[in-house]
Amino acid sequence: MLIAGNWKMYKGPAETAEFCLGLREQELTGVDLVVCPPFVSLAVAVQLLAGTEIAVAAQNVHWDAEGAYTGEVSAEMLRELGVYGAIVGHSERRQYFGETDDTVARRVHAALEAGLFVIACIGETEAERGQGATEDVLRRQLAVLEPDDNLVLAYEPVWAIGTGKTATPGTAQESHAFVKSLLDAPVLYGGSVKPDNAAELLAQPDVDGALVGGASLELESFTAICRAASHS
């Protein structure tokens, strides 16, 4: 079971330090933990979580090792910092920053080549689900990816992200089973995972963990989700 906290554009270095010091104090066993702070807070997170089992990952990564790509960061740079992995293809990047299946594939490939662990995000929008196109969308998003020991998928229905509208455990299970039929990888569920719904989502046989946004920002809610994971 893997629980990853996607902090999005929250927590600069000072708040990151405070959170990581608090997280170190928790007794969290039987669950793999990842925190994904913004780029500027990665160094302090790596430093303060050193010597623990908690991994630090970035929220994006470029496909070239270096180059004229203003605003981007490479896998090699992340590795130099001691960062363990990266999220790629989050729906917010697809929606607001022009990320496509092609650029997702390039980022994933380069990150894996460089030795990073990757959480690749997939998921349909509300309109796509309404049109009955969920499986087509997932098939298209997965077609550019290949299984890899260091690749984990995150199924995040876009209509469930930050909305409080979680997929039912049954819907999540159905999508996860479909995803696994196309690509052999662990699949995290993401989209409004909270302490009060984590246990039933994580109890589904094909739900291998969670990618948590809003509820990962407070130590109390994040650790409550981690505890639910360690019991399932």
Check residue 41 for interaction with ligand PGA (CB under 6 A).
no
Using a 10 angstrom Cβ sphere, with 0-12 exposed, 13-18 middle and 19 or more buried, the burial of residue 172 is buried
Stretch 155-174 residues interacting with ligand PGA (CB under 6 A): 156, 161-162
- Which residue has 């997932």 as its token pair? 138
220 given a catalytic annotation: no
The answer to whether 146 is a known catalytic residue is: no
> Can you read off the two tokens belonging to residue 127?
């309109």
> Residue 75 in contact with residue 47, Cβ under 8 Å?
no
Least distance in angstroms from the C-beta of 124 to ligand PGA:
14
Task: Determine the Cα–Cα distance for residues 84 and 33; give it in Å rounded to an integer.
Answer: 12
Instruction: Provide, rounded to whole angstroms, the least separation between the CB of residue 6 and ligand PGA.
Output: 4
Does 33 sit near ligand PGA (CB under 6 A)? no
CB of 159 to ligand PGA, least distance (A): 10
Site mask, ligand PGA, residues 175-214, x = CB under 6 A? Answer: ---------------xxxx-----------------xxxx
Measured CA to CA, the distance from residue 191 to residue 158 in angstroms comes to: 7
Residue with tokens 């009060």: 196
- Binding residues for ligand PGA, rule: CB under 6 A, are 6, 156, 161-162, 190-193, 211-215
